[in-house]
Each structure stands twice: as C-alpha cells, then as structure tokens.
Amino acid sequence: MRRSEICAVCAIITAVMICASSCGGSDKPQEPPETKKTAVTASAEASQNIITGFIDLSDDDDAAPPAPVTEPETEDAAESAEESSSGITDGSPALPETAAPETEAVTETTTAVTEETTVQTSAETTAQTTAETTAGTTAETTAAPASGSYDPSFFANDYFIGDSIYTGLTGYGYFPDSQVFAKIGLNPQSARTAELKGMTAVSKAQGLQPARIYIMLGSNGLAYMGNANMTNNMKLLVEDLKAVCPDSTVCVVSIPPVTKAHNDAGQETMDMVNDYNSRLKTMASEAGVTYLDLCSQLLNEDGYFSKTYAEADGLHFLGAAYKRMLSFFQSSVS
C-alpha cells in the first residue's frame, strides 16, 4: 500500500471515530469538555499508532529507517553526573596546578644561584687577583725599589752617622734630628768623641737602640789622614756601636765618588776614593758588619761622580743623590 493510500485510510478512520464520539446517545451524561478533549487526543494518538504500524509494515523503499533506541541513563549514573557537575560549579576544590609554575620557579632559583655564584666567583677572583697584585707590588717596593724610590716608613727606626753630606738628611727634611748624627768636617776619628747637643754618636745610638745604623765617614780625611788610619778608626767606631747596640744592624757605607773636575784638581781623587772603599769593605767583612757600596750607584759611564747627583763642588749631594742613596739602602738591607 502506498503512502497516499495509507493517509486516506487514516483520515477516514479518524473521522469515523470523531463522529461516533460526538453523536453518542442523549441519555448518556455529557462529559466535561476536558474529558472530550482527552478522548479526542486519545483517538488521535490511536490513529497515529495505526498509521505508524502501517508505515513499519510497509515495504516502501523510501521509508526512513527506525531511529536508534537510546537507553535511558540509570539513576546512579544520573546522580553521579549531577554530583560531578555540582562539584565543579559549586566551589569544589580546584584541580592541582600543573608542574609548569614549579619548574619555572626552580629554573628562576637555579638562575639566581648561578648568577650569585658567578658574581661571588668573579668577586673572589677579583679580590684574590687584587690582593696578589698588591702583595707583589708591596714586596717589590720593599725589596727592590726603583732608582730614586723608597719608603720613608722603612727607615722609621734607623740611625745615620756622617759628615756634611748627611746633614742634608735633616736639612732637606728626610729625617728628624733624632735619627741623625751629622756634622761638617766629621771623620772616623772625630766621630768617636765629637758631641752634638751633649751626646756623642755612640751615646745617642745607645739611647735609640735603632734597627739599623748607617755610617758614612772619610771624605773629609782623604787629603791628610791617610786611608789606613781612617779605616782603623772606622773599625773602632764600629766596635763601640756594636757594644752598646748589640741588636742593631751596623752598615758601613762607602764614601761617594768625586767628579772628573774635582779629581783633576788633585786634592781628593777617584784613586783615593777607590782605595779607601776597598779597605772599608775588607774591614766590614772582618768585623761581621754589612758593607754598602754606594759609590758604584752614583758613577757615570766614565767612572766619576755623575752630574745627575753631584753638587757643583764635585763632592756633595744634589737632592736626587739622597733619594738614590735611600733607595739603594732599602733594597740592600731588606
């Protein structure tokens, strides 16, 4: 049977049922409007079922396949779904954070530690390098200062005995009078008995108890005292000083050179200077004291007192000679 025929049959059946319902006996009480409506609705539904039955039994190729039947959810499943939905929307505990923030924090901490370590290592390396450089510089300054360079504090406990050349140590302000015993015309012999401010060179040394004693005497006696005589008197002076200052280092200093002009004048010559200094060196060795060859530090290429250090008279010191002398002393006895 075709769809059109089925529809016609359904329409006829529906009309008959409506008519039968409307035209019932008058002796029966009429139903309330709502009941009639319900009956009509029931009749319509029955008709629809019949139509559906015809459709299902139809061999019409164009008929659509029946819709799949979906099983209703169980009561437990529905309640579980409702609880899950309610839990998420009604303030249930939030899901734990992923590891990304923690990883990021760890990364930042590691970076900070690395940077701090780098800064600390750099600071330690810089500090260590600076300390080593400073120590090396200090050692070089103390042990071997450059020509004309010296550390005044190195001589803070030292004592100087000499003639007019040493008077420049106080005159130019290198040291106070308390550290210097110097007098114009002083020689190895007179130095043992001459007095300054009521003290001899030896008695002053006894009161100071210096770390080192630097003796430079002899230029004033070259022309008339004789080198052997001066050397012998120098030996006696050294013995006197060692007796009263047993803990002091006694240094016998060579006398300085003379310029070529002074040498040619013939009163004090380089031959005299060299002979006397040679004797002093031997005496110092025998007496067990230090010998300092200052003469060689002040020579020019021709073997005479350099104009860089010599006064016009060819004997006394310019300011540069004092600095060179102190530099040489410091580097020699450190």
For position 334, what pLDDT does the model report? 82
Give the whole-angstrom CA distance, residue 213 versus residue 210: 7
82 pLDDT higher than 50: no
Tokens coding 304: 């005479």
CB 230 within 8 A of CB 187: yes
- Give the DSSP H/E element, type plus range, for residue 14: helix 3-22
How far lies 301's CA from each of 33, 275, 296, 305, 306, in Å? 149, 20, 11, 9, 8
What spatial distance separates the first Cα and last Cα of the chain, rounded to whole Å?
A: 135
pLDDT tens track for 126-179 = 444 444 443 443 333 333 444 678 999 999 999 999 999 999 999 999 999 999
For position 134, what pLDDT does the model report? 39
pTM of the model: 0.58
**Range from 11-25, 44-58, 242-256 that averages highest in pLDDT:** 242-256
Percent of the chain with pLDDT over 90: 55
State the Cα angle at 52 between 49 and 55, rounded to 5°. Answer: 155
For position 101, what pLDDT does the model report? 43
What domains does the chain contain, in order, with CATH numbers? 152-333 (3.40.50.1110)
Tokens coding 31: 């139903």
